Structure 1
């Protein structure tokens, strides 16, 4: 991305555009249902899934396999953001 500023701009636009806004909307709904503590909304925990997916893409440069997405969500993200009494 340092060698191609336009590519870097596109990545930032796509990753920081819809992704975080969508995650925050979903987390807000989970807060309203009592599944997630409100403090999660403004914490780094809220964006961990996006960070891991971006890392996966940047490291391997290929479309992310569904199994990887499921693993990140089930093994990392949900245990991190769900209230302990709501965790699976």
Structure 2
């Protein structure tokens, strides 16, 4: 499930990459590797996402879309999203 969530999130054009957050806590341990940026907790806990966003779209809009798409994958589970950073390398002209 964590890999499916990661694929949906990173497919959004405003998402530059996934991020584990300041303390590396937003992650899922899979066999032989660690998937950063997605944490699926126990039943009733929210799904946590850590993302780095491009500056080309309003953050609230992107967060709303991601939350809706991930909640649909997870049977309506609550979704918490951490915007850990922004990627300015692909910024539109005139953006900082």
Above 0.5 in TM-score?
no
Higher strand proportion (structure 1 or 2): 2
Bin the TM-score by the shorter chain: 0.3 to 0.5
Structure of higher CA gyration radius = 1
